[in-house]
Structure 1
Amino acid sequence: MTAPILLEEKQRAFAELREAKTLLAAKGWFPATSGNLSIRVGEFSPEQFTFAITASGKDKSVNTPSDFLLVNEKGQPTEATGLKPSAETLIHCEIYRLTGCGAIYHVHTVFNNLVSELFWEQRSIPVEGVELIKAFNIWDEDAVIHVPILPNYADIPKIAALVPDVLDKRVPGIMLRKHGIYAWGANPFEAKRHLEAFEFLFEYVYRWHLLKK
């Protein structure tokens, strides 16, 4: 059984989420209340863990006292609250369970939507030889990565069930078709770095595809 979450751990996680939310909202990456962010809190085992996550339906360009809540490994609130966790919380649960990562950031952008459709038939987005692949601690010369794409089912548990089949621990991201990227890292700093790298790479891949036509 994991130790209870301390108030200071909760407050630190909420403060880190607020900072990340503010920075990413300024980039326009949360249109129309979309997207969600989470940070793991306290001890971890694949069977039992807790994380702080953005509440559903909130305008992420605005900070309020009710933007975040704590949930367990099943995506259920761990404290009495009137807030609802994001509808996609179960996807976060599955990524935490499989990777033990420290934070997961999910955003909707035009370029990540475009490349998810462009490469849908391949079921992954290829990125070849671009310098920013090194942001994922992949240092091979002319490295090639493939970012997996999952179908954007309305039934979230159906999506979560597919995560183990495509997750590549070398590539810290999964795309939902015409929806958005889930990027994760060992901590909030790394998750942000990975997310920014993915977004740069997606724009590069899309623009390079147009130039080659």
Structure 2
Amino acid sequence: MESMISADPWAGAVQDIVAAGRRMDRFGWVPATAGNISRRLADGRIAVTRSGGHKGHLTPDGVIEVTPDGRAVRPGERPSAETLLHCQLYAFAPEIGAVLHGHSVASTVLSMAAADVIELTGYEVLKVFEGQDTHDTTVRVPVFDNDQDIARLSRVVAPHLGRMPAGYVIRGHGVYVWGGTMDGALARLEGLEFLLACELERRKIAR
């Protein structure tokens, strides 16, 4: 997906989110009303998908504006339930410009079988992640237990921030990835999902 360009920063953010939702939907990563997508605005506020709704069929009305601590700017609007996890990433690293959360089959199944980490070793596509310049390496993807208390989950994730080059997985739930731009976040998401799918296939063969 080429970066969307708009003279209106809000319109540009909305266009990026809508396009990302459609792209994620093509791969089957946002089934039903699952997943959420956000982009940081220049003033520090965040454009994020509204709670509910299919991310593959987003319209501009499906994107709302929240403050850096996740509160809807317009009273009565309801952001995605996991907005706080997006806010956590933006607060941690000013260079993060977009955050994506999807629910793929591979991430869901592998996370249910993993202890606290999924190790990805020897794959060429590992080079899509920041700091990786060879296939001859291992990238560890943390797996955190699912929790409907998002504030509590964010506290579990917090000690690992800055040490997750490929993002992380919530058990039985899905992946979180981020990047400096929407294109960068999408590249990271596609790389991680490809590798998780490869790992799932390898485990099938090994049986």
Q: TM-score, with normalisation over the residues of structure 1?
A: 0.88
Label 1:68 to 1:81 Cα distance change in 2 as closer, same or farther (>3 A). Answer: farther
Match of 1:68 in 2: 63
Correspondence 1:110-121 to 2 at 5 A: 110-119=105-114, 121=115
Structure 1: distance between partners of 2:163 and 2:9: 27
Letter in 1 for 2:93: T
Q: C-alpha deviations, 1:46-78, integer Å up to 9, x for none? A: xxx311000001122323341101111210112
Structure 2: distance between partners of 1:64 and 1:185: 23
Match of 1:128 in 2: 121
Confirm or deny: 8 A CA contact 1:54 1:67 kept in the other structure.
Answer: yes
Structure 2: distance between partners of 1:141 and 1:16: 31
Match of 2:4 in 1: none
Aligned counterpart for 2:182 among listed residues 158, 165, 188: 188
Q: C-alpha deviations, 1:14-50, integer Å up to 9, x for none? A: 111111111112222111111000011104xxxxx31
Q: C-alpha deviations, 1:152-203, integer Å up to 9, x for none? A: 0111111111122123445141110000000111100000000000100101
Query: How far 1:95 moved relative to its partner?
Result: 1.3
Match of 2:137 in 1: 143
Q: C-alpha deviations, 1:84-138, integer Å up to 9, x for none? A: 100000011111111221100100011100111121x2x1110001011011131
Structure 2: distance between partners of 1:53 and 1:38: 4
Report sequence identity in percent: 31
Correspondence 1:1-213 to 2 at 5 A: 8-43=8-43, 49-78=44-73, 80=74, 82-100=76-94, 101-119=96-114, 121=115, 123-137=116-130, 138-169=132-163, 171-213=165-207
In terms of mean alpha carbon deviation, does 133-142 or 9-18 score higher? 133-142
Match of 1:3 in 2: none
Match of 2:3 in 1: none
Task: Give the CA RMSD over aligned residues.
Answer: 1.6
Letter in 2 for 1:13: A
Query: How far 1:83 moved relative to its partner?
Result: 2.7
Gaps of 5+ in 1: 1-6, 44-48
Aligned length in residues: 199
Label 1:127 to 1:168 Cα distance change in 2 as closer, same or farther (>3 A). Answer: farther
Structure 2: distance between partners of 1:147 and 1:167: 12
Letter in 1 for 2:53: K
Letter in 2 for 1:70: E
Confirm or deny: 8 A CA contact 2:18 2:55 kept in the other structure.
Answer: no
SS, match of residue 73 in structure 1: coil
